[in-house]
Structure 1
Amino acid sequence: MSVTWTEPDIAECEYGKPPSIWWCVIAFVVVQIAGIVITILTWEQGKSVISGTFFVRALLLPLFIWGAVTAVIYTNYEEWIARVDRWNYLCRCKCARWKRWARSHVAILGSVALTPEPELAERLVGLEGRAPMNPGKIMALPETEASAGVSRIGQVIERLIAPFAARVMRLAPVHTFEVMLHSEDESDINELQAVWRKLALSDLAKLRWAPLDAKTARIEQWFDADLHSGFRLVLGCQLHREGKEPVCSEAAVAILLASPAVLDTFERKLKPQARLFRPISVPPDSVTDAVDVLLAAEQTTRGRIRHMWSSGLSRQGRHATSGAIKDARLNLAEHDVDGAIGKPGPVNGLLLQALAAQMVEHGQGVQLIASPDSQRVMLNLLGTQVTPVPHVGSGHARMLRLSTTIGVTCCIVFFVFLLDMASASAGWFWGCLAAFVLLFPLQIGGAMLTCREVEEDFHRKLRRSPEQV
């Protein structure tokens, strides 16, 4: 069954209290008295009661009967314990699986953000200068000294890639390395290839282009299996084109991604700039629930979340996000990128991740990002520490029941004594031995059937569990 942000509300069962010991005491007294009375009433006239046979019939045989009665008293409770053990184990496995899924992350090894306002992240957080205020404006990137024969987008791509040149040369020969350019025009791939040749970077890297609204630009797609085998350099260029009326401010972003599995192969020699945790996307009227679910997943320590970044949200989404943060009692500094660099565009979602990652690297704690996802609001966290999921432990089922074993054994021994007193043939005794031997595989088979029944009930309830978010 696939995992979603909707965690099924399946509670663990309680063991309850075992049957009172007084039932066993009462059974012992009743059985022993009955055994003595029956033995006296059926004892042969004139035969001495000072004999082993009398004590066997009066005391020992009732003791085996009492053992069987006691086993019956506790059999149902022990069966319930076995079912609860299995049910609770499945609940813990389900919870651990959900937490591992919810706490999964992608490593950001580095990021570059080019915006109309320099040092945007530092200024918004208050580390450098004053926060820029340009709400509603359409701004362009600062002009740089042009090189002969290089287009403007070529210059921007070079500024994005140059900081990663050393890592590209190191990583591309040993792992799959993909460069994904998101821009408005497919011909921009030629500019990327030209810059790649100019910087003399590894020809083992795969250079690809995708439109600005492609799935590869959505961060939830970064958690797919295709990223698990290597590295991906995501480029986003949002530039004004000649002859077209600009509708948003310019921005350009580069983010180098890797999966935790790939990082492990480097034995901590590659230190990530930040860790981007799995996002959650919900309608604006469900943002409060989404924040609660995100915090319940414990992707990071609640108290370490210190800043929130947003861009491109609708008025409803913006108000819902602010209200959800207040309801969750998170003490965050909110940063509206739209108010700083003007009207947002499709690259602003990537820009938020890059700006937040830079602040994580600057020791500003965990960052919460709120960005648009079609008509929904997407929330995700960036931090450095990963909260481990506790080990569930083994789920070995109880193959043998103590009460069943004792009860059946007492019955067999009681029957053997009766056969001995009746001078039965040897075949009866061999039959009792066979019954005792079969007791164990039959219990194992019954325990396996019980486990299967509990698992079927659990998964049936799991499928019927209503969605929460």
Structure 2
Amino acid sequence: MPWPIPTLISVERPKPISIRVLLPTLAAIASGAIGAVLLLWPHGKPTQTIQFWSLLIGAPLAACALAFGLTLNRWEAQQTVAEESEREQQRIVKLWRDWCRRHLRVVQSEVFLPVTDEHAPFSTANSDFPMNRERAIGFPWAKERSTAFRRTRLLHLVAVRFADALKARREIAVTLMLDDLAPEQTKAWTMRVHRIFSRTVPEAVLRIETRPATGAAQWLAEQVDRGDAEPQLVVAAQLWPEDEAEHAFSEGAAAFLVEPVATQTDSVLRPMTTLPETLEAGLAQLMQMQVAPDRLTHVWSTGCDDESVAIRSALTPDPKALAEERLLDGIVGKPGPASGWIALATALAASSEAGPQLVVWREPESEPVHLCVVAAAAPSPLPHKGTTV
């Protein structure tokens, strides 16, 4: 469902005091005051006196001044109420926008795809992409290799790419997002992480946690709202089991180094989870609260081909401001449990442009659609609220 942001009623300011309406009213009041003075003036008393003319002139002036003052006071009261209501609405909208724009700061992100080691072409409009729709593609360096070999090689690649960022750390929290949480699998991953990273960063203390690769949006939302978030290396992977004859997804992996207090980092904003029937409303809300006044540069999607038309129509009201669309399933093959993580890492790694990008994914055998805006490290209008607010 879209975020529970209240719909604010439009504030109507009072109309300006109309001279065309006010002058006839004041003229009628003045005439009535003059008539009252003449009617109440004692019969036979001389009118060629200062007292008479003071009453004849002063009474209508006083009546008009009183009427105008009451009208102006009522208008100013309505104007003050309207201005206060507008300021309160602006304050509420700002609070909600700040809440929506909370984000994780990503110092470095890496993606490991089965089709190519070069992710830069994905951001180019005229690139030639491999066509692997409805195909399960494996890592080219892992053909006919055991799961243990693929696991070791993948973690070695992660350690090499993050070596510079981790070498000065005394403690490293590693979160493994795995497609298979069987006890023997989690034990094998944990032991291999200890062995490889102990060589890469020998002086660092490793703390390892394993979680399912699905639930990326929920995990990101929890981390965004944590006030005590700590630096951590997130590694998400989906590898083929050795005893599987027909594979259900393509292999792939992604890794992120999250640093809550870092500056000049990539940003992963608060994700949104919505149902297909509320997708367009959710996209409109996300664009208003997270993207505006900017515009999206790229849209990355995986696992949600049925919603691609709705996404495109909801995001392109202006034909002149079309975002580049990337359907990852047609490039890297069948999506799997970690495809959401892979799409996020691809979006961050493939483009160095400043500006927000949208990642859309659906997890296997699941109905909800997940939306997440990411932004490159280059200066952009997105505020760096981090995970502490």
* TM score, norm. by length of structure 1: 0.65
What are structure 2's unaligned runs of at least 5 residues?
143-147, 384-389
1:397 corresponds to: none
Sort the Cα spacing of 1:291 and 1:172 in 2 relative to 1 into closer, same or farther, 3 A.
Answer: farther
Once the two structures are overlaid, the 10-residue window that deviates more, 244-253 or 122-131, is 122-131
SS in 2 for 1:379: strand
1:282 corresponds to: 274
SS in 2 for 1:275: strand
Tell me which amino acid in the other structure corresponds to 2:26. Answer: C
Sort the Cα spacing of 1:285 and 1:16 in 2 relative to 1 into closer, same or farther, 3 A.
Answer: same
Tell me the distance in 2 between the aligned counterparts of 1:217 and 1:168.
26
Q: CA RMSD in A?
A: 3.7
1:195 corresponds to: 196
CA contact (8 A) 1:154 1:191 kept: yes
The 5 Å alignment of 1:53-68 reads: 64=62, 66-68=64-66
The 5 Å alignment of 1:65-144 reads: 66-126=64-124, 130-143=128-141
The 5 Å alignment of 1:267-346 reads: 270-272=263-265, 274-297=266-289, 299=291, 303=295, 305-313=296-304, 315-325=305-315, 329=319, 330-346=321-337
SS in 2 for 1:297: helix
Tell me the distance in 2 between the aligned counterparts of 1:108 and 1:249.
25
Work out whether 1:225 is the aligned partner of 2:226: yes
SS in 2 for 1:189: helix
1:215: how far off?
A: 5.5
SS in 2 for 1:308: strand
1:375: how far off?
A: 0.6
Deviations 1:159-190 (A, max 9, x none): 213322333344667xxx64211112321223
SS in 2 for 1:73: helix
Deviations 1:14-33 (A, max 9, x none): 22132643133443453355
1:408 corresponds to: none
Work out whether 1:375 is the aligned partner of 2:367: yes
CA contact (8 A) 1:122 1:128 kept: no
Sort the Cα spacing of 1:153 and 1:70 in 2 relative to 1 into closer, same or farther, 3 A.
Answer: same
Tell me the distance in 1 between the aligned counterparts of 2:46 and 2:126.
112
Tell me which amino acid in the other structure corresponds to 1:321. Answer: I
CA contact (8 A) 1:113 1:254 kept: yes
Deviations 1:92-135 (A, max 9, x none): 22333333333333332211111212235334445997422223
CA contact (8 A) 1:277 1:299 kept: no
Tell me which amino acid in the other structure corresponds to 1:21. Answer: L
CA contact (8 A) 1:311 1:348 kept: yes
Tell me which amino acid in the other structure corresponds to 2:306. Answer: Q
1:199: how far off?
A: 1.8
Tell me the distance in 2 between the aligned counterparts of 1:169 and 1:36.
100
Tell me the distance in 2 between the aligned counterparts of 1:98 and 1:83.
22
Tell me the distance in 1 between the aligned counterparts of 2:71 and 2:125.
72
Tell me the distance in 2 between the aligned counterparts of 1:128 and 1:156.
30
Tell me the distance in 1 between the aligned counterparts of 2:293 and 2:66.
54
2:12 corresponds to: 13
Sort the Cα spacing of 1:217 and 1:65 in 2 relative to 1 into closer, same or farther, 3 A.
Answer: closer
Sort the Cα spacing of 1:194 and 1:32 in 2 relative to 1 into closer, same or farther, 3 A.
Answer: farther
CA contact (8 A) 1:284 1:320 kept: no
2:343 to 327, 331, 352: 352
1:323: how far off?
A: 4.4
* TM score, norm. by length of structure 2: 0.77
CA contact (8 A) 2:5 2:96 kept: no
Work out whether 1:387 is the aligned partner of 2:381: yes
Percent identical pairs in the alignment equals: 17
Tell me which amino acid in the other structure corresponds to 1:141. Answer: F
Sort the Cα spacing of 1:364 and 1:134 in 2 relative to 1 into closer, same or farther, 3 A.
Answer: farther
Sort the Cα spacing of 1:190 and 1:133 in 2 relative to 1 into closer, same or farther, 3 A.
Answer: same
CA contact (8 A) 1:284 1:316 kept: no
Give the paired residue count: 363
1:240 corresponds to: 240
Deviations 1:271-293 (A, max 9, x none): 22x32333333222333333333
The 5 Å alignment of 1:7-46 reads: 7-18=6-17, 20-22=21-23, 23-31=25-33, 34-35=36-37, 38=40, 40-41=41-42
Greater C-alpha Rg: 1
Deviations 1:404-457 (A, max 9, x none): xxxxxxxxxxxxxxxxxxxxxxxxxxxxxxxxxxxxxxxxxxxxxxxxxxxxxx
Sort the Cα spacing of 1:57 and 1:135 in 2 relative to 1 into closer, same or farther, 3 A.
Answer: closer
Deviations 1:46-80 (A, max 9, x none): 99945xx7777666677555544433334433332
Tell me which amino acid in the other structure corresponds to 1:165. Answer: A
CA contact (8 A) 1:107 1:258 kept: yes
Deviations 1:325-384 (A, max 9, x none): 4556452333222222222111110111111111222x3864332211531222333233
Tell me the distance in 1 between the aligned counterparts of 2:283 and 2:249.
29
